[in-house]
Amino acid sequence: MIPAHVRYARASDLDHALTLLAEPDAKAIAGGQSLLPVMKLRIARPSLVVDIARLALRDVGFRDDTLRLGPLTTWSQLIETPELRRPALAAIADCAADIGDLQVRNRGTIGGSLAHADPASDMPAVLLALGANLQLCSTNGERAVPLADFILGPFTTGLGTQELITDIVIPIPASGSGSAYVSVEHPASGFALAGAAALVGPAGERMVAVTGVGGRPFLLPADEDPAEALARAEIFGDRFASEEYRRELAAVVATRALERASERAKEDR
Amino acid sequence: MLETLELVVNGEQRSLEVEPRTLLVHALRDGLGLTGAHIGCDTSQCGTCTVLLGGRAVKSCTVLALQADDAEITTIEGLAELGEIHPIQRAFVEHHGLQCGFCTPGMILTAADLLSRDPDPTDETVRHALRGNLCRCTGYQSVVESIQAAGVAIREGDAQ
């Protein structure tokens, strides 16, 4: 399988990338681990791919009580960053370690995953639970958007045509916090049938987000029992897992994630 | 329209003309005659097309050739040094890590990436690393044993 005819341009810097993206059917490509498979199936037929992989947006940093993840940071980089193993941020490393497979983790990027917005992708749940904001840059300037407002539905985001994610900003949880990500995957595809990320604060405050069970990952109301919150949520079913099964599975992984996050919160004291 | 791709393959500077849509695996196989990168599933599942790009295992069916411009690629053909097969290759021979051999180049290059990061992997670590490599003959037990044996050989080699 070969993609349909396409042109290729490598962006030399952010402005160049945004200029190239002016073409209506242009698509940005970074690791290509989501885009290339759909181009090969010819579900996606961009006229131009704009290679942004060499822009200087590939790093993990800490600044002003925030963790900054460059959108071009690969899953492998996240796994190999020791600072992401501390209890409050451990959900990021949990999650990255089980995405795709070793080869996909070497190429796939966190920004690419967010822009692709597969409803079963894992990391958005983690970033929702951690309260991440995205920094976006377009030809009209910069803006900050909470992740919860960025992902609109299956494969649909609020990203403009000449706009790119330039930073993923995560407030560092208070000391004494713990986080975790737990999922049950479809054994063949590896995608989550249900995944849940939890953040537990020093006084037992809880944030839980789930993925794989609806049109987009979503936060559960804070401090409500996950099973009760999920009983009211809009859950989808398919040939792999019925609506009823997914609803129960989501409650199971949410409970497990909360337990693990609580244990880690104790380690951080 | 063809574009020029420059890259270092198995230590050798190579240049070829490719279409923008050409996948790295096709550039290697059809452009450079390096047919050790196999095409199994062509849907990023099976891992037989695995090569090292900048020392890291990637599925060459899911990389545009032009994305690898200026990069260093190692294929299975480049793993042997000075006529001596690589310790991972030797371990696969000695521990029956292959039967038909179709998946083997991908298995070995994935193992090369794993062992470069973790030369003493547990059984579980090896199996986790092999998640993207499918074998339809032997099952995985002897592959895992081969990779662990290769780790021992590499560690002993480094110690000398």
The pLDDT tens digits of the residues spanning A116-133 come to 999 999 999 999 999 999
Is the model's pLDDT at A215 over the cut of 80? yes
Q: Chain centroid to CA A160: how far?
A: 18
* CATH assignment of the domain containing B40: 3.10.20.30
- Residue span(s) of chain A under CATH 3.30.465.10 come to 60-171
Interface residues of A toward B, Cβ cutoff 8 Å, are 1-8, 10, 29, 32-33, 36-37, 39-40, 49, 51, 53, 76, 80, 97, 100-104, 106-107, 190
Please indicate whether, in this complex, the C-beta atoms of A102 and B131 are within 8 angstroms of each other.
yes
High-pLDDT (> 90) share of chain A, %: 95
Q: Indicate the residue among B57, B78, B99 that finishes a domain.
A: B78
What is the reported pLDDT for A269? 67
Q: What average pLDDT does this structure show over B18-31?
A: 98
- Residue span(s) of chain A under CATH 3.30.390.50 come to 178-267
What is the reported pLDDT for B98? 94
Q: What average pLDDT does this structure show over B58-63?
A: 98
Chain A within 8 Å of B38 (Cβ-Cβ)? no
What is the reported pLDDT for A191? 87
Q: Which of B43, B58, B125 to mutate to test the interface with A (most CBs of A within 10 A)?
A: B58
What is the reported pLDDT for B159? 75
The rounded distance, in Å, linking the Cα atoms of B47 and B40 is 8
SS3 B73: strand
Helix H or strand E segment including B13? strand B12-18
Please indicate whether, in this complex, the C-beta atoms of A4 and B21 are within 8 angstroms of each other.
yes
Q: Say if CB B73 and CB B53 are below 8 A apart.
A: yes
Q: Indicate the residue among B78, B100, B126 that finishes a domain.
A: B78
High-pLDDT (> 70) share of chain B, %: 99
Is the model's pLDDT at A140 over the cut of 70? yes
pLDDT tens by residue, A7-50: 999 999 999 999 999 999 999 999 999 999 999 999 999 999 99
Residues B27 and B74 in one domain: yes
High-pLDDT (> 70) share of chain A, %: 100
* CATH assignment of the domain containing B123: 1.10.150.120
Give the largest Cα separation in chain B, rounded.
52
List of chain A residues whose C-beta atoms are within 8 Å of the C-beta of residue B1: 7
Q: What average pLDDT does this structure show over B32-36?
A: 98
List of chain A residues whose C-beta atoms are within 8 Å of the C-beta of residue B50: 103
Which tokens is A10 given?
Answer: 């490598």
Q: Which of the following CATH numbers is that of domain A60-171: 3.30.565.10, 3.90.1150.10, 3.30.465.10, 3.40.50.970?
A: 3.30.465.10
CATH superfamily, domain A178-267, is CO dehydrogenase flavoprotein, C-terminal domain (3.30.390.50)
Query: What architecture is the A7-51 domain classified under in CATH?
Result: 2-Layer Sandwich (3.30)
Residues B73 and B91 in one domain: no
Range of the domain at B34: 3-78
pLDDT tens by residue, B41-59: 988 999 999 999 999 999 9
Q: Where does residue A135 rank: exposed (0-12), middle (13-18), buried (19+ CB within 10 A)?
A: middle
Scored b (16 or more CB within 10 A) or e, A69-102 reads bbbbbbbbbbbebeebebbbbbbbbbbbebbbbb
SS3 B34: coil
**Mean pLDDT across chain A, nearest whole number?**
96
Q: Indicate the residue among B78, B113, B139 that finishes a domain.
A: B78
Chain A within 8 Å of B19 (Cβ-Cβ)? yes
Q: In what order do the strands lie in the sheet with A26-29?
A: A7-10, A48-51, A26-29
pLDDT tens by residue, B75-121: 999 999 878 999 999 999 999 999 999 999 999 999 999 999 999 99
Residues B60 and B116 in one domain: no
High-pLDDT (> 90) share of chain B, %: 89
Chain A within 8 Å of B4 (Cβ-Cβ)? no
- Which pTM was predicted? 0.96
SS3 B25: helix
Domain tally, chain B: 2
pLDDT tens by residue, A231-249: 999 999 999 999 999 999 9
